[in-house]
Amino acid sequence: MQQYLIPLKTGDERLLIPGWAGDLTNPELEFVEERLRRSRRLSKEWGIISGGYNEAFIRQVALDGLSPGGYD
């Protein structure tokens, strides 16, 4: 129930598609990282399986998408 009391950062949902965003601005990076931390399914889509939300990795996936076998 507590999670519903904390507002989510707003942003364009298309930013959550690997390879769609291109170069992320800092607010866009914050939006994507927050959503990745809240969703195990989305994290897997982004290749984050170890729980390491590395800024450089997130920026790379946002720019180029995820190559086959390109997991964190």
| Position 2 confidence tier, pLDDT thresholds 50, 70, 90 | very low
Domain ranges of the chain: 20-72
Burial class (CB in 10 A: 0-12, 13-18, 19+), 48: buried
Which candidate, 14, 18, 15, places its Cα nearest to that of 65?
Answer: 18
Instruction: Write phi, then psi, for 43 (nearest 5 degrees).
Output: -60, -40
Asked whether 46 and 58 are in contact (CB, 8 A), the reply is yes
Per-residue pLDDT of 4-58, as tens digits, reads 545 556 678 999 999 999 999 999 999 999 999 999 999 999 999 887 899 999 9
pTM of the model: 0.78
